[in-house]
Amino acid sequence: MSAYSPRSARLSLSLALCAGVAACGSFDGASSRIATAITPYRIEIVQGNFVSKEQVAALQPGMTRQQVKEVLGTPLVVSVFHSDRWDYVFTLRRQGVEPQSRRLSVYFKGDALDRFEGDEMPSEAEFVATLDSRTKSKKIPPLEATDEQLSKFPVPKRSVSASSQVDDSPLPATYPPLEPTRR
């Protein structure tokens, strides 16, 4: 009976070890599923100047630096080494959405706009549509009540007291001055 005890103890220990390893593996899988379902809030990061397709269309060669600044806004990057180049960079990082990054470079000759190049810019309407992260319902509810629906509600009766009677006399053609006249 003494030879049987160490074997059963080893068997029990190895079974407990196998069960522990199996539990750890399932725990790791469950913890990774929970971690992907519950994520911490990440703030929306917006950097730079948003430049729309309409703003780019308003650029004309020969415009002054001030006119370009009025159309596009102040550039994000003005390099000391490239004084004739302004860079407009826009990045947007939001939770659950692919990061957006757009770039537009404006080149000058002296004080006049020479050329511009960069990414394809979205229109203002397209950009605003990408910002709305709410789910859109397919069906728009009716906003007017039918006569049948209105008939379910009784019409409230108004009690007219002597102090709250409405004056139906016509309005005067002219009004007295707001400020007193000087004598």
Q: What is the DSSP string of 28-97?
A: HHHHHHHHHHS------EEEE----HHHHHH--TT-BHHHHHHHH-S-SEE-SS-TTEEEEEEEEE-TTS
Q: Is the pLDDT of residue 149 over 90?
A: no
Is 75 within the bounds of a domain? yes
CA 28 → CA 22, 25, 35, distances in Å?
10, 5, 10
Is 92 within the bounds of a domain? yes
Q: What is the mean pLDDT of the chain?
A: 78
Is 157 within the bounds of a domain? no
Rounded to 5 degrees, what are φ and ψ at 63?
-65, 150
In which band, very low, low, confident or very high, does the pLDDT at 165 lie, cut at 50, 70 and 90? low
In which band, very low, low, confident or very high, does the pLDDT at 114 lie, cut at 50, 70 and 90? very high
CATH of the domain at 81: 3.30.1450.10
The domain of 98 spans 45-131
Is 177 within the bounds of a domain? no
Provide the pLDDT for residue 2: 53
Q: Is the pLDDT of residue 179 over 90?
A: no
Within 10 angstroms of residue 102's Cβ, the number of other Cβ atoms is 19
Provide the pLDDT for residue 63: 93
Is 59 within the bounds of a domain? yes
> 96: closest CA among 119, 130, 128?
130
The radius of gyration computed from the CA coordinates of the chain, to the nearest angstrom, equals: 36
Q: Where do we find the tokens 């000087």?
A: 182
CB 106 within 8 A of CB 84: no
Looking at the chain, the whole-number percentage of residues with pLDDT higher than 90 is 20
**Residues 6 or more apart whose Cβ sits within 8 Å of residue 119:** 102, 103, 104
Q: How many domains does the chain have?
A: 1
Is 31 within the bounds of a domain? no
In which band, very low, low, confident or very high, does the pLDDT at 18 lie, cut at 50, 70 and 90? low
pTM for this predicted structure? 0.49
Is 118 within the bounds of a domain? yes
Q: Which position has the higher pLDDT, 87 or 80?
A: 87
Distance separating alpha carbons of residues 103 and 108, to the nearest angstrom: 17
Arithmetic mean of pLDDT, 56-67: 92
Provide the pLDDT for residue 138: 62
Q: Which position has the higher pLDDT, 148 or 45?
A: 148
